[in-house]
Homo-oligomer: A and B are copies of this chain.
């Protein structure tokens, strides 16, 4: 790429003034794109995620086609788990499935530790390829957070109510904290390697932690989240925390040493500020709105921007990931609208 590097999103993450509101979309790369679906006819998911050239291509596509202000690695949050000895299979129509879920403290003791250069070289090579040569916007690195990763490891797959996970947490607190520590160490090592390879911001996905109430979050989760972000702090890149249905945890997140809090669509920017959230906010258009008419999309997008331009400190995103039924044209038009409408 010959363009100059566009660091608008980094400025926004750092609380500096920008010429317009930058945007990216969770799950912007992948099944919603025709080029990706074509690639999937020739290559398996394993090949795409393990061959840096293919993975870089998929990661780059939405930047080129939608004009977003950041790339995010095309990768599942489960991808570092095999390096700990956890066998993950992505089952079509189901999600990540783990055949030998965690049941006991022995299962946790048996878990290994990630050595990123040895275990996930293809992840780091993809980042290097993208950031050294191909991208003119920042690449966002990421990891799943301990609760969310643990939920898959204990349930054996996606869950509606996380009852096994929470029962484990309530019944075996020592084992739970040992698991949080291991997953915390993994998160820090995995993310640090991504930053060293060239990632310029990091999002930690605690997608399902909203299943816990505030009291349990404080006791069982906050300590490890505090440690993760404190250990990443010296890397000097913007740190983002995100989860869905976590309105009740926003003030807990606001206590963490993070720069940015991701909102889902259930809490408006105005409400978050009213509650006392002081961090930069990222979000929060309901992705299902993108299945409606353009008039509706435009109205809801402008409403978010009107609020955020009044309140300040905002990076546009969706409230959750792009679903495969959202049209690429819609995302392209959305970025144009965000950029034009927010021009200061």
List residues of chain A with CB under 8 Å of any chain B CB: 161-164, 166-167, 170-171, 210, 212-215, 245, 247-248, 265-268, 271, 286-289, 291-293, 296, 320, 323, 325
Contacts and interface: CB of A to CB of B under 8 A. Distances in A.
B163 A291 contact: yes
A288 B170 contact: yes
B167 A292 contact: yes
28 contacts: A161-B287, A161-B288, A161-B320, A161-B323, A162-B288, A163-B287, A163-B288, A163-B325, A166-B288, A166-B289, A167-B291, A167-B292, A170-B288, A170-B291, A170-B296, A171-B291, A171-B292, A213-B265, A213-B266, A213-B267, A213-B268, A213-B286, A214-B268, A215-B268, A247-B247, A247-B248, A248-B266, A248-B271
B210 A167 contact: no
Contacts of A266: 210, 212-214, 248
Contacts of A287: 161, 163
B247 A289 contact: no
Given A170-B293, A213-B266, 11 more contacts: A163-B291, A166-B286, A167-B288, A171-B291, A171-B293, A210-B266, A213-B268, A214-B268, A245-B245, A248-B266, A248-B267
Nearest to A293: B171
A163 B288 CA distance: 5
Closest 6 CB pairs of A and B: A170-B292, A167-B291, A166-B288, A163-B288, A171-B292, A170-B296
Q: How many copies does the complex hold?
A: 2
A286 B165 CA distance: 13
Contacts of A170: 288-289, 291-293, 296
Nearest to A291: B167
A266 B161 CA distance: 13
Contacts of A247: 247-248
- Among A170, A214, A271, A289, the one with the most B-chain Cβ atoms within 10 Å of its Cβ is A170
Contacts of A325: 163
A329 to B, nearest CB: 16
Contacts of A248: 247, 266-267, 271
